[in-house]
Amino acid sequence: MNLISPEIMAEVSNGNSTKLPDNTLKMLQILASLNTPKELLASMKEIAEFSLHHVRYLAGPLVIHRSPWSDTIPQWLKFACIQDRLELIFTEYEQDQVGVSSTATEVLTYMMPATYEAPLHRDYADLYLWVGNEVLTKYDKLPKGCKSFYEFIGDGDTSNASNNRIIHFNQVKNEFNYRVQVNSTQHS
């Protein structure tokens, strides 16, 4: 289903398949940063003749873990999902590809309510910590002076009452990045 009728698209289209100017892409990013409704952004992308997949991805719903805790997701995080979707779409547009990836922000938004319901398996906890660090750092949501979430929680170590090390967050980050690299080379 197209958001704009084919007749209007035919009038707007000049039959030219060249890339959009960088300033047009930047203007769309600025609009996204102003929390413009994603449907309006998607309509603009359709006019600009982006792939239908990209238009639908931008206009599509946020996938959130069904939970009574879903209301605790901050509004800034939901808006950040749209901004990051747009950024991913632009990256794919520049590379003439259509991917099937989601953004770290979307993963964090999905997982957040789930983390309040039950303990996470170690792999999911590692993923949650990694995406949390990526998003909080990118959107400057850490306390002043902190460069990463791992730094925020202390020297990277968390200990229990008997002073035994439970987890080292820099190790989690390194292990997760290593697993991503190994998996990407295995599927290439």
Q: How crowded is residue 37: how many other Cβ atoms within 10 Å of its Cβ?
A: 11
Burial class from Cβ neighbours inside 10 Å (0-12, 13-18, 19+) for residue 127 reads: buried
Q: Residues 142, 150: contact at Cβ < 8 Å?
A: no
Could you report the per-residue pLDDT of 162-181, keeping only the tens digit for each?
544 445 555 555 665 565 55
Query: pLDDT at position 29, please?
Result: 83
Which of helix, strand or coil describes residue 5? coil
Local confidence band at 4 (pLDDT 50, 70, 90 cut-offs) = low
Q: How crowded is residue 153: how many other Cβ atoms within 10 Å of its Cβ?
A: 14
Does residue 8 have a pLDDT over 60?
no
Does residue 19 have a pLDDT over 60?
yes
pTM for the model stands at 0.69
Could you report the per-residue pLDDT of 92-137, keeping only the tens digit for each?
988 888 887 889 999 999 999 999 998 988 888 888 988 999 999 9
Dump the DSSP string for 113-133.
Answer: HHHHHSPPPHHHHHHHHHHHH
Query: pLDDT at position 166, please?
Result: 44
Stretch 143-165: mean pLDDT = 64
Sign of the CA dihedral with 75 first, then 88, 53, and 65 last: negative
